[in-house]
Structure 1
Amino acid sequence: MIDFNQGLYAGEFRHNLDSKRRLTVPSKWRSDGDEQQTYLAFPDPAGCVTVYPPEMVAELKEKISKISIGDKKGRRAITRLLGSADSFSFDKSGRININDRLFQHADISKEVVLVGTVNFFQLWSPDRYDAYVADADEEDGDLGDILADLGF
């Protein structure tokens, strides 16, 4: 269940990395105490970086703890996913700093598009994000029809 006191990730924001390759996260996505919380960023197959907030990190940790040591396929998947992930906290100015490997995965060099997806957010290069949205329009059809199919 989503804890809306921890934030609701909605909207699209375009920010630049600073000279130390830090990214300022929108203030409406931040909560008091974020400097002591652990966030998790990992490469998304869509070509972006997905960022899980603390409550989703806790859920992921719980699910991973249930994978048996004999489940080679499950263990391998977790190793692949988390081996390329990065954990971090916000600094006092609301900035994050994730590793270069993740920025390279998403082809992010200077400008970053932050996209909220309710319970987590994504980091995109502007070109990839614009192409992803355009492809969705062409491949998936009308947004109204898709939302109706999902029950909205």
Structure 2
Amino acid sequence: MEEFVSTFTNRLDSKGRVSVPASFRQVLMRDGFEGLYCCPTLDQNAVDAGGNRLLQQIRASLGRFEPFSEDHEFLSTTLIGESEILRLDGEGRVGLTETLKSYAGIADQVTFVGQGYKFQIWEPERFAAYRSEARNRLRDLRQRLVPGSRGPASADPGGLE
């Protein structure tokens, strides 16, 4: 199964379009989704993006709630009501809407972050701060989960044993 992996930063062109990384476009093509499904992340100022696999996860999350319940309505408002489907042009670019750019704080550059079944679209400086926080939290988690693991000075947060 194809996954969205790695991190890429690209510039928006003068028309507000950005080139989606080629490896991400290949995953979308194999996924069979026409375009790019985008919605605000639930807890960060970034955009979740993907295709059918992202939509399956959204449906599964919504399925945990009783239809017409307040929680279902809140979640569906954000993940469906605030979503947008962007079309890729022949050169693999998408035009980010003003709504998405405003939500994520994007001006002239975009960072694409692979997360397996989906990817996120970030303003690069916001992502750098988030990545730093994620690494620090991973170090803390590792210390709690792996007895005898290296302390916070460790340069290898990804080496969970």
For 1:142, what is the secondary structure of its paired residue? helix
Q: Report 1:37-116 matches (<5 A).
A: 37-44=34-41, 45-61=43-59, 64=62, 69-116=67-114
Q: How far is the alpha carbon of 1:37 from its aligned partner?
A: 1.1
TM-score (norm 1): 0.76
Query: Which residue among 24, 27, 47 is the counterpart of 2:19?
Result: 24
TM-score (norm 2): 0.73
Match of 2:8 in 1: 13
Q: How has the CA–CA distance of structure 1 residues 27 and 141 changed in structure 2, closer, same or farther, with 3 Å as cutoff?
A: closer
Q: How far is the alpha carbon of 1:98 from its aligned partner?
A: 3.0
Q: How far is the alpha carbon of 1:141 from its aligned partner?
A: 4.3
Identical residues among aligned pairs (%):
22
Q: How far is the alpha carbon of 1:63 from its aligned partner?
A: 6.2
Q: How far is the alpha carbon of 1:114 from its aligned partner?
A: 0.7
Cα distance in structure 1, aligned partners of 2:105 and 2:40: 11
* Contact preservation (8 Å) 2:5, 2:116: yes
Structure 1 unaligned blocks of 5 or more: none
Most deviating of 26-35 and 125-134:
26-35
What is the CA deviation profile of residues 57-89 of structure 1, one whole-angstrom value per residue up to 9, with x for unaligned ones? Answer: 245357657865443431232123322211123
When the two chains are superposed, the root-mean-square deviation of aligned CA atoms in Å is 3.0
Radius of gyration: which is bigger?
Answer: 2
Cα distance in structure 1, aligned partners of 2:133 and 2:8: 20
Match of 1:137 in 2: 135
Letter of the aligned partner of 1:37 in structure 2?
E
The count of aligned residue pairs is 145
